[in-house]
Structure 1
Amino acid sequence: MKFALITTLLISSLGLATVSNAASVEKGKALSETGNCASCHGAGLNAPILPAYPKLAGQYSEYVYYALRAYKVGNSNPQFGRNNAIMTSQVQPYSDQDLHDLAAYVGSLPGNFVIKK
């Protein structure tokens, strides 16, 4: 009986931790606007101003989070970090939760990626 109660409490506390750290699309949108992401990635983050800049809309949020974290790490970890002067400076002020929120927002946007078979 005691074991079942403790197990239930542990499992429920894991669920609460997940809910409290859930990414917010609304916060991500606000961060995207204040960070002026559209100035490079274009309207709806789907029309880059230069071909060298990627389309973001429609990307998987997990991928976007991983990429943002890698830019934040930069050259300090050559096995994980990404090196781009613009993006490295853009992500520095953001917390880990902010990066999750940005990724959730980007993942919620409709993209026009084409999968060729």
Structure 2
Amino acid sequence: MKFAFITTLVFCCVGLANAADIQKGQALVEKGACTSCHGVGLNAPILPVYPRLAGQPADYLYYALHAYQVGGSNAKYGRNNAIMAGQVQPYSDQDLKDIAAYVSSLPGTLVIKK
């Protein structure tokens, strides 16, 4: 019984330690000037080739950001885009999670068929 309690407590603490911080994500998005390409609220791209990001699922956004960091060096998991690769390189894994949480929290017009 003690073991189960301690194990549960440890896993809960690890989850809290890695929880994404929306406010930190907002600061990182502002610092990174993401709206320069993705537009106001990250929902009005300046060119049609840039995606609308607002409201997309955080796990998808994190995966995409991480894939840009990995880049072409990993054909299975990387994404090749010179602009995005340069944008995400300085960020830690936690920074990417924070950015994803913030962007996901924004109201967006992206429609996903159900």
Amino acid at match of 2:12: G
Q: Which runs of 4+ in 1 moved over 4 A?
A: none
TM-score (norm 2): 0.96
User: Which runs of 5 or more residues in structure 2 are unaligned?
Assistant: none
Percent identity among equivalent residues? 61
Task: Compute the displacement of 1:11 (Å).
Answer: 1.3
1: CA distance between counterparts of 2:110 and 2:74? Answer: 31
Query: In 2 relative to 1, CA 116–100 (structure 1 residues): closer, same or farther, beyond 3 Å?
Result: closer
Please state if 1:69 is matched with 2:104.
no
User: Which runs of 5 or more residues in structure 1 are unaligned?
Assistant: none
Aligned residue in 2 for 1:55: 52
Number of corresponding residues: 114
Amino acid at match of 1:28: G
Please state if 1:15 is matched with 2:15.
no
TM-score (norm 1): 0.94
Deviations 1:54-78 (A, max 9, x none): 0000111110000000000001110
Root-mean-square deviation (CA, aligned residues, Å) is 1.1
Aligned residue in 2 for 1:82: 79
